Amino acid sequence: MLELRAMLFLVPMAILAQDAQIDRARLASQAQSFAEQLPNLICTEILKQKSISYSTRMRIRLGEAALRPVAPKIKTREIRSDLGYSLRGKESPVWFELRKVIEVDGKVVTAAKKARERLRMGLQSEDDNTRLKMLEEFNRYGLDGIATDYGLSLLLFRFGEIDKMNFEAKAVEFLGADQVSVFSFSRTDKGAAVTVFDGTQVTRQPLNGIIWLRQSDMKPLRIKVISVTIEGHTQLLDEGTIEYAASKFGSVLPASVSYSRKVNGTLILETQYTYKDFLKFGADAELKFTP
């Protein structure tokens, strides 16, 4: 009887999904409100990474050890940074994330006040090398790769950008107590991308994904972006899921990002970002913050 009730519940949800229509204007308005909050916005980011490496060396093993698979090596890292957002580019300006590391695995590497001052200088600088240097800093602290700008994914749906999107209704479901409409999306051009920094190489990868919109007001609660890259016989699958939450600034802001990379279907990297203590600061040298 319980199985029958479950089936009866799922059928109308599927019908609702087929009939769901995305309100582009309301979604674009949410994205525009988000964009308007980015200038001078700063927060604390906690990054926790787990990288997995698999041995390719052949070893002779005897007895019971020969029957057991070789365990992968797992490396973990936790980094706390100040994070802000910078608009770069004269002809086609693009928003980027900028970070300044404060702690690595619980050890202070930059005093908090000094880190915030350097981040402010980076946000105000027109030099793209500033951003690259900040990305390279992550590599020096032993990260095996860093994917950035996922928290900015909502900008994909701003006015002028949303018309380049194709949407397809997928489901109606619940996120907590909120009923949401779920849509897949893809760009009709190659203008949308996520930045992946691996060692000293920076790449911009095309993407598509899924968005969860609260039905009552079209507020975005979750976005998942997916990127597949083929390099010879190697397939790289990068996925990032961004959770958004209401903020005191009147728009949603990223609460967390879960990022993973798979190579030919095998998980090699997981990174969890969490964001807290969003503040706004003025342009003066004393870094006066406003609530």
- Decide if 9 is inside a domain: no
pTM of this structure? 0.81
- Decide if 211 is inside a domain: yes
Please give the Cα distance from 289 to 291 (Å, whole number).
Answer: 7
For residue 117, what is the domain's CATH number?
Answer: 2.50.20
- Decide if 166 is inside a domain: yes
- The total domain count for the chain is 1
- Decide if 197 is inside a domain: yes
Contact between residue 78 and residue 105 where contact means Cβ atoms under 8 Å apart: yes
Percent of the chain with pLDDT over 70: 77
Residue 187, classed as helix, strand or coil, is strand
For residue 245, the enclosing domain spans 22-55+72-277
- Decide if 291 is inside a domain: no
- 57-85 pLDDT, tens per residue? 545 444 454 445 556 788 899 999 999 99
> What band does 181 get if pLDDT is binned at 50, 70 and 90?
very high
Backbone dihedral region of 282: left (phi > 0), alpha (psi from -120 to 50 degrees) or beta? Answer: beta
pLDDT value, residue 9? 45
Mean residue pLDDT across the chain: 81
- Decide if 14 is inside a domain: no
pLDDT value, residue 11? 46
